[in-house]
Amino acid sequence: MQFSFQDYQQSADFIKAKLKGFQPEALLVLGSGLGFLGDVLENPIVVPYGEIPNFKVSTAPGHKGQFVFGLLGGKNVVVMQGRMHIYEGYSAEDVVYPVRVCRLLGATTMIVTNACGGVNEAYEVGELMLITDFIKTAQPNPLIGPNIPEFGPRFCDMSYTFSKAYRGLAKEVASEMGLNIHEGVYYYTTGPQYETPAEIRAFRILGADVVGMSTVPESLAANHAGMKILGISLVTNMAAGILDQPLTEKEVLDAAEAAKEPFSQLIIRFLEKME
């Protein structure tokens, strides 16, 4: 289904009526393990996706489907508790719908995080990577279809998708925290299967440092709509074929759980410093 600008506007107007003048500055789209940040906002206002006109509901197990608006790190934020993935059967346009609605609500920044497989063999499980850029080959694209000029141009420049200034700030925070943090390229696949070892070898030759199944549709839409983006990946496992062992979802969830504390602190401190 192709949404019109009026659809997005209708969703935004519905939410705005519940926010009593609150305007989010940053949208937080959080990967496995970090959704709890939505529970620690000050003065929270919860808006379940199911109540919002035109919204598709998040179905991933363990994911709530709601926005939480409130204060984090002294900034007005909105947390998506429950994000949509293309592998769940949503279209690329569905996946980015909430991002565009939050842009209409006033968000000018998006902080997006994910779990990923390490493709760069110098990376280790549990480490973080600031996304400098991504590779998306023949995957579904949320910008296909009639362009909505109220969001951005038909041919969207992707030279500076992830803010260099934000990466600098995040590196400063990480160094204050004594956290080692990489910078590198995210290779996007829709999933839901993990990659084959041959694919991982190919992705490495193409320039990938990590591989994952999220973040890119949202980043495309946010960049199209002129938002500044900070993208952070958590290496939850080494990608297929690097270690002589099968990949499991448990390994991914365990690593996400283990990194929860420093990862969430990094985001809170980043928000505190963000201008």
Q: Counting contacts by CB under 6 A, is residue 263 touching ligand HPA?
A: no
Peptide bond into 192 cis (omega under 30): yes
Q: Which of 239, 259, 266, 267 binds ligand HPA (CB under 6 A)?
A: 239
Residue 164 CB neighbours (<10 A): 11
Q: Which of 194, 203, 263, 270 binds ligand HPA (CB under 6 A)?
A: 194
Q: Counting contacts by CB under 6 A, is residue 242 touching ligand HPA?
A: no
Q: Counting contacts by CB under 6 A, is residue 236 touching ligand HPA?
A: yes
Tokens of residue 97, six digits: 């719908």
Q: Counting contacts by CB under 6 A, is residue 174 touching ligand HPA?
A: no
Largest alpha-carbon pair distance within the chain?
Answer: 55
Nearer to ligand HPA among residue 232 and residue 252 (C-beta): 252
CA pair distance 81, 101, nearest whole angstrom: 15
Q: Which residues contact 60 (CB under 8 A, 6 or more apart)?
A: 82, 83, 84, 85, 88
Q: Which stretch binds ligand HPA (CB under 6 A): 5-13, 80-88, 172-180, 206-214?
A: 206-214
Q: Counting contacts by CB under 6 A, is residue 186 touching ligand HPA?
A: no
Pairing verdict, β 75-81 and 228-238: unpaired
Nearer to ligand HPA among residue 151 and residue 194 (C-beta): 194
Smallest distance, Å, CB 33 to ligand HPA? 11
Q: Counting contacts by CB under 6 A, is residue 84 touching ligand HPA?
A: no
CA pair distance 176, 170, nearest whole angstrom: 10
Q: Counting contacts by CB under 6 A, is residue 161 touching ligand HPA?
A: no
Nearer to ligand HPA among residue 35 and residue 117 (C-beta): 117
Nearer to ligand HPA among residue 67 and residue 188 (C-beta): 188
Residue 6 CB neighbours (<10 A): 9
Pairing verdict, β 128-135 and 228-238: antiparallel
Q: Counting contacts by CB under 6 A, is residue 237 touching ligand HPA?
A: yes
Q: Which of 148, 213, 225, 259 binds ligand HPA (CB under 6 A)?
A: 213
Write the DSSP string, 199-254: HHHHHHHHT-SEEESSSHHHHHHHHHTT-EEEEEEEEEEEPTTTSSS---HHHHHH
Smallest distance, Å, CB 23 to ligand HPA? 33
Q: Counting contacts by CB under 6 A, is residue 212 touching ligand HPA?
A: yes
The torsion angles phi and psi of 68, rounded to 5 degrees, stand at -125, 120
Q: Restricting to residues 105-134, which ones interact with ligand HPA according to CB under 6 A?
A: 115-117
**DSSP E strand boundaries for 6-105:** 26-29, 42-48, 66-72, 75-81
Report the chain's C-alpha Rg in angstroms: 18
Nearer to ligand HPA among residue 117 and residue 142 (C-beta): 117
Smallest distance, Å, CB 25 to ligand HPA? 29
Q: Residues in the site for ligand HPA, rule: CB under 6 A?
A: 115-117, 194-195, 211-213, 236-237, 239, 247, 252
